[in-house]
Amino acid sequence: MEILCRKTAARIERIVSTGQATPEGEWYDQQADEWVLLVEGGARLRIEGERQDRALAPGDYLLLPAHCRHRVTWTEREPLTVWLAIHFAPD
């Protein structure tokens, strides 16, 4: 993970995944809103309470509100999967 820009209001990160997924049974549960854009590669994301994964292709983006529990269930390895993530300061 590389921080591209860090300001009081938000932090911009570039994240490269090489096939990683969130370990089974674990969830991300974040304090603040995060906006993610899939730049390259591909991924599947599961939001807690949803019945199936969301498939993400380059150009797809979504807002993960604070405490929206989610897991990355799959990322493409070839080509590498590149994300842009923006972590907002709490409102």
**Contacting residues toward its own copies, per CB under 8 A:** 4-5, 7-10, 12, 33, 35, 37, 61, 63, 84, 86, 88-91
Report whether 80 contacts 17 (CB < 8 A): yes
Q: How far is the CB of 25 from its own copies (least distance, A)?
A: 30
Nearest residue (CB) to its own copies, 26 versus 65:
65
Q: How far is the CB of 21 from its own copies (least distance, A)?
A: 25
Phi, psi (5° rounding) for residue 7? -130, 170
For residue 61, the tally of other CB atoms under 10 A from its CB is 13
Nearest residue (CB) to its own copies, 19 versus 58:
58
Nearest residue (CB) to its own copies, 21 versus 37:
37
> Cβ-count burial of 69 within 10 angstroms (0-12 exposed, 13-18 middle, 19+ buried)?
middle
